[in-house]
């Protein structure tokens, strides 16, 4: 029972991070029908910038409280990622708004490769350890162990997602975002500056990515110029799993993917009689993803044809 509970906790924590990143993919897709493949790299830049800030501050002010350092890291990483997202939209996507759909996909992949290489030039190829500034507390719950970092990630992710729902459902900007997603042309006829709404969408998605990037590096204790690739791929898969374009779907898909991966890691050895080890967790997760999509091509909460009309 304790293994089950442990994997459940690990899966929820990991899944909540996937969900934050998946939201960025799904919001952009919902409005532009564009897969922003550079989104994973934005999480990486978020982690790298935060680590650089934390590292510099640790040297400048030794003994400063860890939470304060982390907050400073986020306070720099979020605006950097927001600016980056805005620039990418303006330079790589907006000029191609009326181009065939493959064109912005190619620029997205191009931007992603550029960001990886820029990060490699700045921070090198080596793994960068997350400094030991965070509380290392561990708590026993019914035989499972939960760390302070895990609790913080889960709580913060849930708060952010609730705030996002509130913004999208209740505010003027949120209404404009939903209207633009349903019909860009009609939204503009209502007086919505569609370009600004699209920019705002990229900004929000990038802010979530920055936070998620810091969470991942805190969780695994390291950051790396290539970390955005697999994280982005998984989060994108989570968005597709939940039904791309659907906010609730991205949250559900993210949590499910985290759980599948975690339970896969926990049980895959037993299931295959030791033939496959827990390092096959990603294979297992993507196998489940494929199986779900075969039966529900539009994802778990994806819009059916009629509703999209």
Partner 1 sequence: MSALLAVNQLSVAYGGIQAVRELNLTVASGEMVCLIGANGAGKTTTLKALSGLLAPRSGSVHFDGQPIARLPPHEIARRGLALVPEGRGMFPRMSVAENLMMGAYARNDRAAIARDLDQVYALLPRLTERRAQLAGLLSGGEQQMLALGRAMMARPRLLLLDEPSMGLAPLMVQAVFDIIRKIAADGVAVLLIEQNAHLALKTCSRGYVLENGVVAASGAAADLAADPAVRQAYLGE
Interacting stretch for partner 1, rule CB under 8 A, among 82-90, 144-152, 189-197, 287-295? 189-197
**144 neighbors 10 (Cβ within 8 angstroms):** no
Q: Does 193 bind partner 1 (CB under 8 A)?
A: yes
Q: Does 186 bind partner 1 (CB under 8 A)?
A: yes
Residue with tokens 């600016």: 83
Q: In the complex, what is the shortest distance from the CB of residue 285 to partner 1, in angstroms, rounded to a whole number? A: 30
Residues 127, 178, 267, 286: which binds partner 1 (CB under 8 A)? 178
Number of other residues whose CB lies within 10 A of the CB of residue 149: 19
Task: Name the residue nearer to partner 1 (CB basis): 90 or 175.
Answer: 175
Task: Name the residue nearer to partner 1 (CB basis): 61 or 186.
Answer: 186
Tokens of 303: 């819009």
What DSSP string runs through 137-172? -EEEETTEEEEHHHHHHHHHHHHHHHHHHHHHHHSH
Q: Does 185 bind partner 1 (CB under 8 A)?
A: yes
Per-residue binder mask for partner 1 (CB under 8 A), 287-306, x = binder = ----------------x---
Residues 188, 248, 267, 276: which binds partner 1 (CB under 8 A)? 188
Task: Name the residue nearer to partner 1 (CB basis): 189 or 294.
Answer: 189
What is the number of residues in the chain? 309
Task: Name the residue nearer to partner 1 (CB basis): 117 or 171.
Answer: 171
Window 134-173: residues binding partner 1 (CB under 8 A): 172
How big is the chain by its Cα radius of gyration, in Å?
Answer: 20
Residue with tokens 């979530």: 208
Q: Does 183 bind partner 1 (CB under 8 A)?
A: yes
Residues 132, 273, 290, 307: which binds partner 1 (CB under 8 A)? 307
Number of other residues whose CB lies within 10 A of the CB of residue 189: 8
C-alpha of 229 from chain center: 11
Residues 103, 194, 199, 233: which binds partner 1 (CB under 8 A)? 194
Residues 60, 102, 142, 189: which binds partner 1 (CB under 8 A)? 189
Tokens of 309: 């009309």
Q: Does 176 bind partner 1 (CB under 8 A)?
A: yes
Alpha-carbon distance 158 to 168, whole Å? 15
Alpha-carbon distance 210 to 80, whole Å? 9
Task: Name the residue nearer to partner 1 (CB basis): 192 or 207.
Answer: 192
**What is the DSSP secondary structure assignment for residue 126, as one 8-state letter?**
S
Task: Name the residue nearer to partner 1 (CB basis): 192 or 209.
Answer: 192
Angle between helices 194-220 and 148-170 (to 10 degrees): 170
Count residues binding partner 1 (CB under 8 A): 20
Alpha-carbon distance 220 to 78, whole Å? 20
Q: In the complex, what is the shortest distance from the CB of residue 191 to partner 1, in angstroms, rounded to a whole number? A: 3
Nearest Cα residue to 289 out of 250, 242, 230, 248: 242
Q: Name the site residues for partner 1 (rule: CB under 8 A).
A: 172, 175-176, 178-179, 182-183, 185-194, 303, 307, 309
């Amino acid at each position: 029972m304790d293994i089950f509970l442990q994997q459940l906790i690990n899966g929820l924590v990991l899944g909540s991070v996937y969900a934050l990143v998946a939201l960025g993919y799904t919001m952009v897709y919902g409005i532009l029908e564009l897969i922003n493949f550079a989104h994973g790299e934005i999480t990486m830049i978020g982690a790298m910038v935060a680590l650089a800030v934390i590292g510099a501050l640790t040297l400048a002010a030794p003994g400063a409280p860890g939470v304060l350092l982390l907050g400073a890291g986020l306070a720099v990483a979020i605006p950097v990622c927001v600016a980056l997202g805005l620039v990418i939209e303006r330079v790589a996507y907006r000029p191609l708004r009326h181009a065939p759909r493959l064109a912005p996909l190619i620029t997205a992949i191009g931007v992603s490769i550029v960001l990886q290489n820029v990060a490699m030039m700045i921070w090198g190829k080596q793994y960068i350890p997350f400094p030991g500034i965070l509380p290392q507390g561990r708590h026993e719950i019914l035989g499972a162990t939960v760390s302070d970092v895990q609790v913080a990630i889960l709580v913060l992710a849930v708060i952010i997602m609730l705030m996002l729902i509130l913004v999208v459902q209740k505010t003027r900007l949120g209404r404009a975002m939903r209207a633009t997603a349903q019909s860009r042309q009609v939204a503009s006829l209502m007086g919505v500056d569609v370009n600004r709404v699209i920019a705002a969408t990229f900004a929000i998605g990038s802010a979530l990515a920055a936070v998620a990037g810091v969470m991942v590096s805190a969780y695994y204790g390291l950051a790396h110029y290539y970390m955005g690739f697999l994280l982005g791929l998984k989060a994108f898969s989570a968005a597709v799993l939940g039904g791309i374009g659907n906010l609730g779907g991205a949250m559900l898909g993210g949590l499910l993917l985290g759980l599948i991966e975690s339970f896969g890691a926990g049980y895959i050895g037993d299931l295959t009689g030791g033939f496959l080890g827990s390092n096959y967790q990603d294979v297992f997760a993507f196998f489940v993803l494929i199986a779900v999509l075969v039966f529900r091509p539009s994802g778990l909460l994806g819009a059916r044809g009629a509703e999209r009309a």
